[in-house]
Chain A
Amino acid sequence: MAEKTIEEVRKFILMVAAKQGWLPTRDESFLEDLAEGLRVNWNRYGYFLCPCRDSEGSREADADVLCPCVYARQDIETYGYCFCSLYWSSAFASSGGVPGGIPERRGRGPTPS
């Protein structure tokens, strides 16, 4: 599988954000870190594993945490940003808030579809 460049990962992030009605994090250095994390994960595993989740060893086991993860919508509704803080709601972006760690939904209750 062809390796991804950082430019390709940035395009992927922008595409996901546009499609879902979210915004990429407004924190530029955080965005760079997360884009690099996604690039590393693609080139390591062959899929965009969430940069803030550890692989369980296979694509099947990691299916719920492929970016954008199945928990992102709920987290963005609740906290204004997703678990790794790559995607923000527009309301959070205009609030001037600074994201911090949020509780992990993975492994707690039913997996959202």
Chain B
Amino acid sequence: MFDYLEYSKVEGSDERHDIEIYALSTCGFCKRALAFLKERDIAHRFVHVDMVPLELKNKAKAELLERFKVHVSFPFAVIDGKDFLVGFIEADWRKTLLDGEPRRG
């Protein structure tokens, strides 16, 4: 979503959604969220916000706030550029990302 951030891309056979994860490298729930996606072979890209220079990450957080009108905490998932998940509650992620038939890439 932000061309000034460097995302790590994770390939997966389930490409039904376009998923961007904003995470902290130090955060337990962020690790669980990324593991949840990887274990289910869900394609996504992520950025560890705490590894991004202050000015750039503040810019990204401000733009996420502006777009989604929600306090940004981590993990923060942007789904198809229009929906979001904040925090890792497995049942919510499962419902949002796994309901319906997977589209195989």
Contacts and interface: CB of A to CB of B under 8 A. Distances in A.
B71 A52 contact: no
Nearest to A25: B28
A107 B50 CA distance: 19
A107 B27 CA distance: 19
Given A54-B50, A55-B50, A101-B86, A37 B73 contact: no
A37 B54 contact: no
Contacts, number: 64
A100 B28 contact: no
Given A100-B89, A104-B71, A108-B71, A51 B54 contact: no
Contact of A33 (B28, B49, B71, B90): B28
A84 B86 CA distance: 13
Name the interface size band of chain B.
20 to 34
Contacts of B24: 37, 51-54
Tell me the dominant secondary structure on chain A's binding face: loop
Interface of A: 30, 33-34, 36-38, 40-41, 51-55, 57, 84-86, 100-104, 106-108
Given A33-B31, A52-B73, 17 more contacts: A34-B28, A37-B27, A38-B26, A40-B25, A51-B27, A51-B28, A52-B30, A53-B73, A85-B29, A100-B87, A100-B88, A100-B89, A101-B75, A101-B87, A101-B89, A106-B73, A108-B71
